[in-house]
């Protein structure tokens, strides 16, 4: 499982995201809504049967009940456009280190066209 490189920040009023480590530092203990969107490169989906791809936001790059799996089926024309949407509500503690990560069943790093992550404290 690979941490996704998110090299730019649109809004981070608390300065909690590190663009070098690609880690979000939880500012306060509470309940959070986390959302991500991955847009893999079209050329990733040309193999027969299609790959299994997993996406998560967590304190480590591991599989668990919060990890979402997708089965992506290729098109006969040689590719498919897809966006992988991820959402969760979780209780995190101050100073937890969150990251967006993914797993591609072939074991190769996912080639991404675009990726984003948003985290909001809701209580």
Arithmetic mean of pLDDT over the chain = 86
DSSP class of residue 67 equals: -
Residue 47 has pLDDT above 60, yes or no: no
- The position carrying tokens 């304190």 is 59
Contact 92, 26 (CB under 8 A): yes
Residue 78 has pLDDT above 60, yes or no: no
Residue 51 confidence (pLDDT): 75
Residue 66 has pLDDT above 70, yes or no: yes
Q: For 94-120, write each residue's pLDDT tens digit.
A: 999 999 999 887 665 666 778 999 999
CA-based nearest residue to 68, from 83, 49, 47: 83
CA-based nearest residue to 98, from 67, 63, 60: 60
């Amino acid at each position: 499982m690979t941490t996704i490189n998110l090299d730019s920040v649109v809004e981070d009023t608390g300065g909690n995201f590190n663009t070098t480590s690609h880690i979000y530092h939880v500012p306060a203990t509470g309940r959070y809504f986390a959302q991500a969107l991955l847009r893999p490169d079209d050329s990733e989906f040309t193999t027969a049967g299609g790959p299994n791809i997993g996406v998560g936001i967590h304190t480590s790059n591991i599989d668990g009940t919060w990890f979402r799996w997708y089965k992506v089926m290729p098109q006969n024309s040689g590719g498919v456009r897809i966006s992988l949407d991820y959402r969760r509500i979780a209780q995190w503690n101050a100073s937890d280190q969150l990251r967006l990560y993914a797993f591609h069943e072939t074991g190769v790093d996912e080639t991404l066209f675009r990726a984003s992550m948003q985290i909001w404290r809701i209580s």
